[in-house]
Every structure is written in structure tokens, then in C-alpha cells.
Amino acid sequence: MNGQRTHGTRSRGVSIAIGATASVCLVALASVAVFMWARSGAVRQSVSKPADYCTVTTSDGNYPLSLTQTRNASFIAAVAVQRGLPDHAATVAIATAMQESKLVNLDHGDLDSVGLFQQRPSQGWGTVEQLMDESYATNAFYDGLVKVADWQTIPVEDAAQAVQRSGYPDLYTQWDGMARAWASALTGEVAAGVTCSIHTKTSPDADGLVTAFRGQFPSVEIVRSLGLGDGSDTESGSDAGSTSTSDAGSSDSSSTSSGSSGATGDGQSSTVTMTLTFTLPAGLSESDMKRQGWQAATWLVAHAHEYGVRSVHACGMDWSRSAGRWSGTEAAEQSLTVTLR
């Protein structure tokens, strides 16, 4: 009897314990479910918010980059153009920088490596300060590249390895397609190659844009035009009655009015818009005009977020922040226009 009673008591105790444990588990599971549901909602909200990025599309697929990566790739390609190097040089350089730093100007790396190309001061590339300067680092890479025998015809990864002397030479291969696509677009070989989807608003900086652009394209003349818009986010060209100032030599104070607001005669708010007109050198052939036009246009789109560019017209086609893509039919044009507000 005692044994049976004890057994029954233990059974009831076990049952109670199991029930209590099950209840606790159910409560815990419910809490986890609520937490996960809340988190999933937060994730859905985060994912649904579009990110700022740029991309190049080819028959092989899309090659997106962040805005920072895009600006650095654009700079690398522009230096190749300045030096009169073929597109292949930009391809090798972009592939190398993508592998070494993911196209970000890092102040750290393996051992004493720094910069876009993770060059090492201890190996004679220069000082840390020099290697953190994108211009110095990029030119140093090209200086090494042009010394490589047959660099224009050997595979990208072989050319990159000959300059970098990496411990993992095979890793450059994975960036061949991406680097070739971006180099072709940024050097103007491909029309309307770079598109950017930019949703974050930025203030216009005409002075900064003019200074940076002139540093990459010194032979292009720039003229600024001010005009009043109606405050809407249309992508039209310059407004009637605008004033123009030449910007061929140095930046002027007219850009300080860009982005300011006023009022029209009917009491409605208006916005001062600035249009920059970029004129290519005279005497270019039709093919050269298109190529140089796209070199300038892709640079401008790649830096649209940084300088508050609203729209670009080049080579018969138009790009705008709101659309995030190029539209129109390509044509040879000597001038490009950029609208900021």
C-alpha cells in the first residue's frame, strides 16, 4: 500500500511537473514567436526601404556597387583615361582594388597594408599618408602595371599579380567580369553604362562638383546658369530667364544661390535651380564625342549623391534621381547639362 501510494504520488508529482514544464515551454515559445514576428516586421520594413546604389548591366548580369565603391571605381577609371591608358588598364585596376579592399579606401589591412590597393609602405610603395591618397595610390598601381611585360594581353589576374605579388593570386579571377563591365562603362566604351538609384536627399554643391570634375576632365569648359523653378521635382532643363556665368577658369560665387527658396509673384514657393553646362573640346569625331561624353556623364552620375545632382543630359539621353535610369536615344552631342537644386 505504501509502495503503491508512493508510486501514485510520484506519478501525480511527475505529471504535475511535466504539465508545469509544458506550460513554461508554451509560454516561452509564445514569447519567442511574438519576438520573431516583431523582428520580422522590422526586417520587412528595413528591406522594403530602398538602398542607394549604382549598377552596370551586361548580358552576363548585373554588377551593383555601393555609392562609395562607385566613386572609387570612377576615380580609378578616370585616372586611366587621363594617362591615355586603354580600357584594359582600368579593368585590371578595378579588379585588383575590389579584391584588395572591396573598393574602399581602408586605413588598415594585413600587416602594414593600407588604401584602395592595400599597398605596403614596408615594400616601398610610399608612406601611409601617400597611400591613403587615392590619386597617389592609383597612379602608383598604374606605374607598376605599365612595366609588366604584355600586360595588355595577359589575363587580368596575371597582370594584377605581377604588380601586387599577392599570396593569393587566384582570387583576382573572381572579379574579371565585374571589373570589365565597370571599366567599359566608366571609360565611355559602353553608352549609358552606369545607372544609380539614389533615394537619400543631399544638398547641392556646385563648387565642389566643378572643382572635382575639372580635376578629372581639365579640357571641358563649364558654364553655370541660375533660374527659378516651381519647387516641384520635375527633371526639366534650365529655366527661362536664367543667368549664365562661365566657369572655365575658376568657380564663382553664383553657386551659393543654388538650392535657396523664394516666392513667385502669385505667392507660391519657388526654388533656385542651377544648371551646369559641360562643353567638350572642339574638333572631336562623332565616335570620340560620344566616348568622351559618356566618360563625363558616367562620372557625373557616379557622383550625383555626393554633389546633389538631380538630373544629367548627355549624348541625347537623360538620367534623373527619380527615374534612376537612362532614357532616350543616343546621339553625338558636344555639350552635357547637369541640374542641381
DSSP H or E run through 88 = helix 87-101
And the C-alpha cell for 56? Answer: 552596370
DSSP H or E run through 324 = none
Helix (H, G, I), strand (E, B) or coil at 326: strand
Prediction pTM value: 0.77
Q: What is the pLDDT along the chain (341 residues), one digit of tens a residue?
A: 434 434 444 444 444 444 444 444 444 444 434 334 333 333 333 334 458 999 999 998 999 999 999 999 999 999 999 999 999 999 999 999 999 999 999 999 999 999 999 999 999 999 999 999 999 999 999 999 999 999 999 999 999 999 999 999 999 999 999 999 999 999 999 999 999 999 998 999 999 999 999 999 999 999 999 876 544 443 333 333 444 555 544 434 333 333 444 444 444 445 778 999 999 999 999 999 999 999 999 999 999 999 999 999 999 999 999 999 999 999 999 999 999 97
Handedness of CA 49, 52, 53, 54 (dihedral sign): positive
* Radius of gyration of the chain from its Cα atoms, rounded to whole angstroms: 29
Q: Give dist(CA 144, CA 161) in Å, integer.
A: 11
Residue 246 near residue 277, CB atoms below 8 Å: no
